[in-house]
Amino acid sequence: MKSLANTNLNLVIFCDFDGTIARKDIGDEVFQHFGVFDLFISKLMSGEITVREYYQSAIAAAKNFTPETIAQFSANFEIDAYFPQFYNFCIERNIPLTILSDGFREYINPMLEAVGINDAIVLSNFLSIQNSEVLPIFPTASESCKCFCASCKRNSMLSSSPSDSIFIYIGDGLSDTCAASHADIIFAKSTLAAFCNERRLPHYPFRTFFDILRIMEKVVVSTTVKVRRQAELLRKKSIEIE
């Protein structure tokens, strides 16, 4: 691993939404409320259908499923109480923060706006109404990506920042594993933490953004940060494939 002095750091942060910024997986909650969740999620988890096919099937079966009803339903849920503080921490230090989600902006944006965050960079799926039919749109889908997601978080991360950046990833689930593998610094909980442990990927476990703030202040910002060599090689390989 090569070392970079903190005065020369080019930190970029990418963060999952469902189960990470939001305390629950809002996508799952949405489809449980509006559609036939159990049937399609069992097919997804068994490998019978892809994530993309899951979304298409669940949305086709959903009742009264509109951007307005989704936004109203999302008001029942909370984001991590410390995320606004973390968001301001990044702004004050000029650290770019991008929210990467394989969920939908129809609930992400309203939930962020509810806590006063109106200008966050969010890369996610969204809904399009065509001939009265609600269709999911996957703007960052990639044929080369074999991970558990409809839109490729890895490609979104790598195409959003200079190659000499120090990539930081924050997440909790299966859709985060690919992007996290390409990051130099990983904050992980739940399924992503288990993935990191199984593959011996160095990471910081966390429960809330208070834990991340504490680490960012004491370790990442105030000391020398190292580029993770394996992640750097994976990033180069992924760029070559694309």
In this structure, is residue 166 part of a structural domain?
Answer: yes
What's the pTM value of the predicted model, to 2 decimals?
Answer: 0.92
Work out the pLDDT band at 143, boundaries 50, 70, 90: confident
In this structure, is residue 192 part of a structural domain?
Answer: yes
- CB-CB contact of 105 with 83 (8 Å): no
In this structure, is residue 42 part of a structural domain?
Answer: no
Q: What is the pLDDT of residues 163-221, one digit of tens each?
A: 889 999 999 999 999 999 999 999 999 999 999 999 999 999 999 999 999 999 986 66
Work out the pLDDT band at 7, boundaries 50, 70, 90: very low
**Tokens describing residue 166:** 């120090």
In this structure, is residue 127 part of a structural domain?
Answer: yes
- CB-CB contact of 115 with 84 (8 Å): yes
Averaged pLDDT score across all residues of the chain: 91
d(CA 215, CA 203): 11
Output the pLDDT for position 89. 96
* Matching residue, tokens 């509810």: 114
Paired with 168 in beta bridges are 13, 185
In this structure, is residue 71 part of a structural domain?
Answer: no
In this structure, is residue 29 part of a structural domain?
Answer: no
State the DSSP string of 157-198: HHHTS-TTSEEEEEE-SGGGHHHHHT-SEEEE-HHHHHHHHH
* Structural domain that includes position 126: 3-23+79-241
Whether the pLDDT of residue 3 is over 70: the answer is no
Output the pLDDT for position 96. 96
Paired with 226 in beta bridges are 3
Q: What mean pLDDT do residues 139-151 have?
A: 82
Domain count, the chain: 1
* Amino acid letter, 117: I
Angle at 65 between CA 109 and CA 68, to 5 degrees: 40
What is the percentage of the chain residues whose pLDDT exceeds 90? 76
**Tokens describing residue 22:** 């939001």
Q: What is the pLDDT of residues 34-85, one digit of tens each?
A: 987 888 999 999 999 999 999 999 999 998 999 999 999 999 999 999 999 9
Output the pLDDT for position 108. 98
Output the pLDDT for position 5. 36
CATH of the domain at 114: 3.40.50.1000
